[in-house]
Chain A
Amino acid sequence: MVLGATSPFAAAIGVFGMIYGAGASAVADPATIVLSSLVVFSGAVQFAAVGLLLTGAGPLAVLLTAAMLNSRNLLLGAALRSSLEEPRRKRAFLAWWLVDETAGLTLASPAPPGRTLLFSGAFCYAAWVIGTAFGVLGASLASLEELVAAVFPVLFVGLAAQSTRTRDAGLRVAAAAVVSLLLAFAVPEIRSVIPAIAAVAVAMPGEKG
């Protein structure tokens, strides 16, 4: 069940891995590119790093950008924390698999959260690394980039729907979508942290009654 739900995410991640592998060739050798996907495992951070390096930015700018992009992981981790009963050492292992998609699947799935995070994370990780390797080797699915880019918002609509069971929750979801959209148009520079800001803002007020 976990693998079935993860499959569309993993497929999209694999294609983006290819695009990353091909694009990063301008700033690194093949082994370094694959190593980056093996040890970083973050499309947002890795794409941003390549983009900045291509514009001539230094390592400090890249690291600061990565820190900002990663700040949403704090919220995802906090949202997952209360559902994980595993001891600290096991949570440290599970933390490796925490990305937007796996956090979403874990929070929306009725399956045990630790197992969902592990299996969905491993699946997405394999897709990301293998995709990167294919991209480095010259595989190109650039023509599919637009389609794959459309898959992510559709899947997040699905996860939002699965997490929404009441009218109150539906209103919060709608409010977060509108706020995020407006902020993304107004300040695209911080778009990666906008969902976290909007989600916390609409989740703060308590439920009536």
Chain B
Amino acid sequence: MTIWLIVGLALLTYASRALALVFLPKPSPPVEAMLRRVPGPLFAGFAAISLVTSSGAATPPATLAAVLAALLVARTRSLLIILSAGLAGYSAAEVIGALF
């Protein structure tokens, strides 16, 4: 990894971050309404792809258990409760995996 490659990666990455945030004018009302609907599905997508490895295989069962446990308490909308449930689900799956 050379300095020039790092500079190239840094420029590309910053440009992608700044392009919409800096140069995009305030969107029109219909576009703004559409963009307001993006975050939830986007985060759900990030969560979903985390269950698949870069080679297309499923992640370990404990990760799936963590996500399922988090989904069970998702209606609370509390990040702390959801994280705690996820870790509990992960731990439970690890213990069960070790027992069998």
Count of chain A residues near B, Cβ 8 A: 93
Given contact pairs A155-B79, A206-B33, a sample of 16 additional A-B residue pairs in the complex whose CB atoms are under 8 Å apart: A39-B6, A40-B6, A73-B13, A77-B20, A81-B21, A100-B46, A104-B42, A153-B46, A155-B83, A157-B71, A158-B74, A160-B43, A161-B74, A173-B43, A199-B38, A203-B34
Bound-state Cα–Cα, A67 to B5, Å = 13
**Would you call A112 an interface residue if the criterion is a C-beta within 8 Å of the partner chain's C-beta atoms?**
no
Q: A49-B1, A66-B9 are in contact. Are A169 and B37 (CB under 8 A)?
A: yes
Q: A45-B9, A161-B75 are in contact. Are A198 and B45 (CB under 8 A)?
A: yes
Closest partner residue, chain A, to B82 (CB atom):
A158
Q: Which residues of B lie under 8 Å from residue A53 when comparing CB positions?
A: 1
Number of A-B contacts (CB under 8 A): 292
Residues of A at the B interface (CB closer than 8 Å) are: 5, 8, 24, 27-28, 32-33, 35-36, 39-42, 45-46, 49-50, 53, 59, 62-63, 66-67, 70-71, 73-82, 84, 88, 91-92, 94-96, 98, 100, 104, 107-108, 146-147, 149-164, 169, 172-181, 184-186, 188, 191-192, 194-196, 198-200, 202-204, 206-207
